[in-house]
Amino acid sequence: MARLIRLDRTGHTTLAEWAHEDRTAREAAVSAFRRELDNGMLASVPRSDGTAEVVRELPRDADLVVLRRPIAGG
Amino acid sequence: MAHAGLTTPPRPPETPRDGLEEAAALWWREETTQRTLNRDGRRWTLWTAWIVIAFTAPGVVLLLLSPLALPVALGCFAHAWVVPWLQARRGARSVVPIGAERSASPGAHSGADGVALGLLGDLVGHRERELLARTGLALQRGELGVWLVGERGALMVRPGGGRVDSWCVSVAAPESLPGADRVAHLLLALREDERGFAKVANLGFSGAAWRLRRSLPQRSRPALDAARSAAREGAGS
């Protein structure tokens, strides 16, 4: 199962979970993903090699997509 | 504008920068590279040397003129020591480890803190997880150096382990986010685009690692030691 989570005051909230072959669940995840991006969140896919990738569309192959707030210089 | 001594800012690039979106928004800022880091490091060293000379030299001259000026000369020497110490202390205090006094969640005992720590633990590797639990800082190896990320701020140990840069950076709207979530935000941004991360962050200190280490909380010093060790290994390989 792939997961779309948002980092928030609860630690994190799971917004959507979907199996890659489940089209309906994936469409719901895409809707949730776009809604969060419209609200100013940024999406990141952590990779096993210790890097992460910025994504602007919900990737088909990712197991975990993390939504985070922007960062700024202090 | 020219008569006021101001210059027109450069035009935004037609093709937006890849990587960190926050860095793309700062199109007028210089990109961070090894060259700009080396240049900034030299500036910090020169500035610190100038401070030491500017306060030490008058003290020496006063003592040569009259031994009775000893109290004033001691004041000069104290300034030559205190100002660089304050710079390093400011750099150390820019970084807030999880569970520190200035943490968003000191003690980190709520349910949200536990959930956030669990996710952060999943993001970092096994060795880094143990270091994070012990020191409150997340270690991340990068191309520019080895990073230590806190709830606010980050340290970057340069290759070779001798110099440390302190960066002021935080989540833009951190209200009520658990401390570990703040670290996760910064860690993800750093992993997405290291140079972009350094472009967004503000350099608050650059200098010898030992100067900054003595102002770090006792608990977090092993993280700096581990980062220096990793930076030496990286430079040697």
**Nearest CB neighbour to A12, from listed B116, B140, B191:** B116
**Whether the predicted pLDDT of B175 surpasses 90:** no
**Are B172 and A71 within 8 A, CB to CB?**
yes
Asked whether residue A10 is assigned to any structural domain, the reply reads yes
Q: Identify the pLDDT of residue B1.
A: 44
Q: Identify the pLDDT of residue B158.
A: 97
**Cβ–Cβ contacts within 10 Å for residue A20, how many?**
13
Q: Identify the pLDDT of residue B4.
A: 56
**Whether the predicted pLDDT of A8 surpasses 60:** yes
**Nearest CB neighbour to A9, from listed B169, B177, B180:** B177
Q: Identify the pLDDT of residue B107.
A: 64
**Whether the predicted pLDDT of B50 surpasses 70:** yes
Q: Give the start-end residues of each E strand in B80-201.
A: 138-141, 146-149, 154-157, 163-171
Report the range of poorest mean pLDDT among A37-46, B9-18, B53-62, B97-106.
B9-18
For residue A35, the enclosing domain spans 2-68
Asked whether residue A29 is assigned to any structural domain, the reply reads yes
Which tokens hold the place of B155?
Answer: 């340290």
Cβ distance B169 to B186 under 8 Å? yes
Domain count, chain A: 1
Chain B: nearest CA to A34, how far in angstroms? 16
Average model confidence (pLDDT) across chain A: 93
Cβ distance B85 to B77 under 8 Å? no
**Rounded mean pLDDT, B108-115:** 80
Give B71-109 pLDDT, tens digit per residue. 999 999 999 999 999 999 999 999 999 988 888 777 666
Cβ distance B111 to A11 under 8 Å? yes
For residue A3, the chain B residues in CB contact (below 8 A) are: none
SS (H, E, C) chain A: CEEEEEEECCEEEEEEEECCCCHHHHHHHHHHHHHHHHCCCEEEEECCCCCEEEECCCCCCCCEEEEECCEEEC
Q: Identify the pLDDT of residue A21.
A: 87
